Amino acid sequence: MSDMTEQTNVLHYIHDPLCGWCYGAAPLVAAARKVLPVQAHGGGMMAGPSRRQVDAGLRNYVMPHDRRIAQMTGQTFGDNYFNGLLTDTSAVFDSAPPIAAVLAMQALKGNDAGLDMLAAIQLAHYRDGLRISDEGTLVALAQKLGADADAFTQALHKIEEEELARHIEASRELLNYVGGRGFPTFVLQRGDTLEVLDVGMWLGRPEEWAQFLQQETRGDTNGNTDTSVAQCDIDGGNCN
């Protein structure tokens, strides 16, 4: 399984940078980071054979979902995304480079910096309409977060060549192990115990989500009974 830690309480976040529901859940990740350690696991939804060239079919598929996500979560989907990136038929949606960028930043500056990089990548894509699969975009984002451009580029290439495929495979193994169905999946680790937390009811409610996590980590809870699903499947074929 992917990058499991021996810390007592950890929130494992199985995600994909090109998953709209993961962007919708970004405020929950930010809130969770104030409560307990969060470990990101990139699942490669649009990596390899699942990468997609932007075309009218992709645009018409994702836009209704994105508008629903915005309505449910309050997250901003920018005009440069809707009417810029989603109309640029020369652009390619590929999850592999941004996942590698998160891992590269993590290798250079630690776990929190990797999570900061993921948040910056999501904003660059959904708010600013930038090509987050392009190396130049990723280097620029890393620099804004304080990384040296050359050091980041070297780390990125090393991750892509030596670690990325294994990381994506391990993330999917973890998803399968816990019985997760897609992205995002949040898994609370308490010691040796793993519990999938359904976050549908918490979307748009990060403060209450943080309170829930505090109760969960103390063991002072009646359990997480929400059964709603707000996810993209592992190969991006369906988003609910």
pTM assigned to the model: 0.92
234 occurs within a structural domain: no
1 occurs within a structural domain: no
Distance CA(203)–CA(222), nearest Å, equals 20
What pLDDT does 227 receive?
A: 43
Distance CA(132)–CA(57), nearest Å, equals 20
- Evaluate if residue 102 carries a pLDDT over 50: yes
- Summarize the confidence of residues 51-65 as an average pLDDT: 97
Residue 40 and residue 15 in contact, taking contact as beta carbons nearer than 8 Å: yes
133 occurs within a structural domain: yes
Q: What is the pLDDT of residues 128-168, one digit of tens each?
A: 999 999 999 999 999 999 999 999 999 999 999 999 999 99
233 occurs within a structural domain: no
Distance CA(138)–CA(132), nearest Å, equals 6
Q: Which domain does 102 fall in, by range?
A: 9-218
232 occurs within a structural domain: no
* Angle made by CA atoms 228, 234, 239, in degrees to the nearest 5: 45
What pLDDT does 226 receive?
A: 46
Amino acid at 222: N
- Evaluate if residue 228 carries a pLDDT over 70: no
149-162 and 164-177 are packed helices; what angle lies between their axes, rounded to 10 degrees? Answer: 60
188: left (phi over 0), alpha (psi -120 to 50) or beta: beta
229 occurs within a structural domain: no
| CATH code: domain of residue 123 | 3.40.30.10
The helix (H) or strand (E) run that includes residue 14 is strand 9-15
* Cα dihedral across residues 182, 133, 3, 48: positive or negative: positive
238 occurs within a structural domain: no
28 occurs within a structural domain: yes
- Evaluate if residue 202 carries a pLDDT over 60: yes
- Evaluate if residue 6 carries a pLDDT over 60: no
- Summarize the confidence of residues 71-83 as an average pLDDT: 98
- Evaluate if residue 229 carries a pLDDT over 70: no
Number of compact structural domains in the chain: 1
Distance CA(240)–CA(232), nearest Å, equals 7
